[in-house]
Structure 1
Amino acid sequence: QKLGLYTTVGIGDNPVQAKLALDLYAKHNHELIGEIHYETVPDKIWSITELTAVWGIGPRMAKRLNRLHIHNMYELAHTNPYLLKQQLGIIGSQLFATAWGIDRAQVTEPTKVKEASLGNSQVLPRDYFNQVEIETVIKEIGEQVAARLRHHHKLAGCLSLSIGFSYAAAEADG
């Protein structure tokens, strides 16, 4: 209230019902709360006369539905689902389920995003020919990466080493 911010809430038995409740009811009443449950689907969803008011139905999809003699959510809910799938593909099945307040999406824990890798690369100031010097440079780079891993409390799952070469030295060698 101090900041003058308003929050709208859609409540439902599944994400589709909550989304429809938010879009169709919460945003349009003074309480800013909308609810749809399975038992209220006939009153709350089938009563929608404007197809484009429903999430997932744009003007082009509404025209396609109109060509199938579907002009509102009641007609969509009572159309043969096999006809919808035949005419509209998988989206037809999804729209039929939406008309009944059914959400077939699997709600799971968010998949863990693969973490970024840690690495280090250096362009050396000169060419190295002595094996001991080369081993020292590789060891120092490895120690820098290991220190960063420790700092972030991480373990390496894979270690890769790439070594480039001086084009000047390669050309001189022929």
Structure 2
Amino acid sequence: MKAFYPKNGRVILHVDMNSFFASVEMAENPALKGKPLAVAGNPKERKGIIVTCSYEARKFGVKTTMPVWEAKKRCPDLLIVPPRFDLYKKASAEMFSILRAYSPLVEPVSIDEGYVDITGLEELGTPPAIAESIQQQILAELDLPSSIGIAPNKFLAKTASDMKKPMGITILRKRDIPRLLWPRPLIEMHGVGGKTAEKLNGCGLFTIGDLAHADDFLLKQLLGIRGIRLKERANGRDPRPVDPESVNVTKSVGRMVTLSKDTGDEHQIDAVLKKLADETAERMRKKEVAATNVGIMIRYADRKTVTRSKKSGGPVESGDALFQAARTLFIRNWNGQPVRLLGITASGLTDRKAEAEQLSLFSYEEAAKKEPLYEAISRLRKKFGEQIIQTGREAGKRPPDPRG
């Protein structure tokens, strides 16, 4: 038993529900089991978007955010049902209730996944036995499948849970990293998105092993402190504790800038606010969060400072949405005097995945459709400059450079 519970280490589980929405629908209607099933908006219309799908549907190439017409083309026998978010939230609450019966250290990550710290729970058995008990209890009581990763830290536990789906239990120890983790391409590493992978590939880093042995200075130049953190993860190091209160902590991201000279020119102010909004949105994208509150800071030439914020009607994550909210606040609170400093803050941050799952169906579809557009715009602006793509409003005004 001591071999399973290290004296100075942790034992952490990552519990990930398999094809959660579709599985809940199957639990409610057993006649759907074993069939290609998708949860989608406007299932009777060709413009509907796939929210999630069963593993039987995935075998045909059906994917999340795929248009219904394309999914039906790939899988003619695909069964489509509209989403029932209240039902999914209820199942999620019941799932987390089961996890908390094993340990008080449970950290929800989103509606369908969470970490459980089982360090010191030898009386419940070995970690694999505990994972098996959790998995079988969720299946027996909720009729829902899950995959569980067992590891000494959160990163490795998350990685392990992805290794075998559905209904998998995987142990990933630090000594297994060179064999199981390092040969994998970077894009498969948790925390590395497409843009990050492209940057690293461009410097000759293609596998997780390449990242694990990369030069610190190079990583700092490419990704800042995040590069060093990713290297730590690639080497199996992750000191983050399982924090049950993390979902209740109010966090924020933002950007501010002191202007090269005080200005009261609205075109220049708009240009600065837009730049700040885009930079804040980029930071939110990297953290994979959405904001429920937007704030601004205005500092005048006499150093008088005004801060104002407003709760948004729904999750905000794009640069355009942040800009519109910040500009509205600015107009309401600006006294017309020259401005020395401007700042935008996005707070009340929540996991983008969890927020998307709780959006109204229409909002979900619109967000799903726009996501590739925002990614494409961001790539073009980074490659060719901020002015390469402008909104109609921006193109009409074409404000001068805020630096004068």
SS in 2 for 1:27: coil
Listed as ranges, the gaps of 5+ residues in structure 2 are 1-138, 250-404
1:69 corresponds, among 172, 185, 204, to: 204
- Write the distance in 2 (CA, Å) between the matches of 1:52 and 1:5: 29
Map of 1:103 onto structure 2: 238
Relative to structure 1, is the Cα distance of residues 111 and 105 closer, same or farther in structure 2, using a 3 angstrom cutoff? closer
CA contact (8 A) 1:77 1:100 kept: yes
Shift of 1:32: 0.4
Match of 1:41 in 2: 177
How far the C-alpha of 1:6 sits from its partner, in A, is: 1.4
Q: Which whole-Å CA distance do the structure 2 matches of 1:87 and 1:71 have between them?
A: 15
- Change in 2 beyond 3 A, CA 1:9/1:107: closer
Residue in structure 1 matched with residue 89 of structure 2 by the alignment: none
SS in 1 for 2:206: coil
Q: How many residues align?
A: 110
Match runs of 1:75-114 below 5 Å: 75-108=210-243, 110=245
Find the counterpart in structure 1 of residue 195 from structure 2: 60
CA deviations on 1:14-41 (whole Å, 9 max, x unpaired) are: 1111011112x1327xx60122111111
- Cα shift readout 1:145-167 (whole Å, capped 9, x = no counterpart): xxxxxxxxxxxxxxxxxxxxxxx
Contact 1:45/1:101 (CA < 8 Å) preserved in 2? no
Bigger strand share: 2
Q: Are the equivalent residues in 1 in contact too, given 2:155–2:238 (CA < 8 A)?
A: yes
The residue identity in structure 2 corresponding to 1:44 is L
- Deviation string, structure 1 residues 24-81 (Cα, Å, up to 9, x no partner): x1327xx601221111111121121x22111111111110001111011111111112
Q: Take 2:238 and 2:215, find their aligned partners in 1: how far apart are those partners?
A: 18
Cα gap change, 1:67 to 1:13, in 2 (>3 Å) = same
Residue 21 of structure 1 corresponds to which residue in structure 2?
160
The structure number with the bigger radius of gyration is 1
Distance in 2 (CA, whole Å) between partners of 1:66 and 1:10 is 28
Q: CA deviation at 1:113?
A: 5.5
User: Structure 1 pair 82/106, CA: closer, same or farther in 2 (3 Å)?
Assistant: farther
List structure 1 runs of 4+ shifted beyond 3 angstroms.
Answer: 1-4, 106-109, 111-114
Runs of 5+ unmatched residues, structure 1: 115-174
Does structure 2 conserve the Cα–Cα contact (< 8 Å) formed by 1:11 and 1:18? yes
Say if 1:112 and 1:87 are closer, same or farther in 2 by CA, change over 3 A: closer
Aligned mates of 1:113, 1:46 — CA distance in 2: 35
Assess, with a 3 A threshold, how the Cα gap between structure 1 residues 27 and 81 changes in structure 2: closer, same or farther: farther
What is the distance in 2 between the residues matched to 1:88 and 1:112?
Answer: 26
Superposed CA deviations along residues 108-129 of structure 1, whole A, max 9, x for unmatched, are 5636959xxxxxxxxxxxxxxx
Over 3 Å counting, the alpha-carbon distance change for 1:38 and 1:112 in structure 2 is closer
Q: Does 1:12 align with 2:143?
A: no
Q: How far apart in 1 are the matches of 2:227 and 2:174? A: 20
SS in 2 for 1:9: strand
Partners of 2:171 and 2:239 in 1: how far apart? Answer: 19
| 1:18/1:36 contact within 8 Å kept | yes
Matched residues in 2 for 1:58 and 1:39: separation?
Answer: 25
RMSD of aligned C-alpha atoms? 2.5
Specify the code of the residue in structure 1 equivalent to 2:174: Y
- Secondary structure, counterpart of 1:11 in structure 2: strand
TM-score (norm 1): 0.55
Provide the secondary structure at the position in 2 that maps to 1:8: strand
